Amino acid sequence: MGKLALISEETVRKIVTRQLAFDAVRAAFEAVAVHRSRVFDVVIGTGLHNGEAFAIKSGIDIENEMVGFKCGTYWAGNFDKGQPAHGSTILLLDPETGFPKALVNASYLNGYRTAAANAIAVSNLARAEAAVLGVIGAGLQAEQEIRAVAEVRAFSQIKISTRSEARASWIADRLQDVDIDIRFTSAEDAVRGSDVVITVTPSELPLVRDEWIREGTHISAMGADDKGKHELDTAILKRSSLFADYPQQSIIIGEFQHAYDDGLINSADDICALGLVTLGKSPGRISDSQITVFDSSGIAIQDLMVAGAIFEAAQKMSQVQYIDF
């Protein structure tokens, strides 16, 4: 069959930057928004114990001739073992033969990829003068989200809510180099008065209530990527402008699934693809009083684009290991 390229996490760490991820994910959003790519149904499975799950997301990018999939895992118990709860592996296929072309350890990369989606949303949908960031969740991905959005808005304060003292201590230590006032508080206080709210949890019960959200707020719902996951009171969506990485998927496994099931969202047509905003084909924020909500359920084209960018850079740096396969 030929050679299979292997790209290790060590190599990914040498190459990835916020800008690389931002550019790749923006290109992915635009490709799916104008139907230059296809996203296939997500396949979801479980591990042997509660709190263990994996999802396979696949797709094709016609313009760039990319085919492949990502297997993303979530093992909740890993945090107590000192390991990341999330794992990720991307396989790029040869578009001519269908044989494996490159295998990328994307566990570290996935944090950049997901946070880049949030940064794109915040840069296009949050008010320019947004100064207070509220975050629900304090895991590994929360750190990535905070770092990414802090590059697109000049926050003066970050309020973080977590139910775990261990996670609060962990993320406080991780963010010591961030020159922004950070404090830990309740979910309600983290949300009230914040200009941007980020939810990044695996919750199946709403964590953010409608009455906590003031006019002009932007919300990025980053946690829902499976049936049943639920971070926002659906009443919030009734008075908000809705955006998603992939609207058709957002009403199936994303945050918007619950509003769709309740009839508050009639169809995916009620939701704007974020790629249309970055392309200038649809408006983003149109007033300072508008509430905007971005639903990130994650799409395969994001993974293919970032993996392709890493693979290309690794080849130029002679950092690819090849094995017979």
By annotation, the residues acting in catalysis are 70
Task: Compute the distance between CA of residue 258 and CA of residue 262 in angstroms, rounded to an integer.
Answer: 6
DSSP H helices in the chain: 9-15, 18-33, 107-125, 140-149, 165-174, 187-191, 234-238, 247-250, 257-261, 274-278, 300-316
Angle formed by the axes of helices 300-316 and 107-125, to 10°? 120
CA distances to 63, 67, 200 from 295, in Å: 25, 24, 11
Angle formed by the axes of helices 140-149 and 18-33, to 10°? 90
**Burial, 108: exposed, middle or buried (Cβ in 10 Å; 0-12, 13-18, 19+)?**
middle
263 CB-near residues (< 8 Å, 6+ apart)? none
Residue 88 has phi, psi (to 5 degrees) of: -155, 135
Token duo for residue 301: 């084209």
- Is 284 in contact with 125 (CB distance < 8 Å)? yes
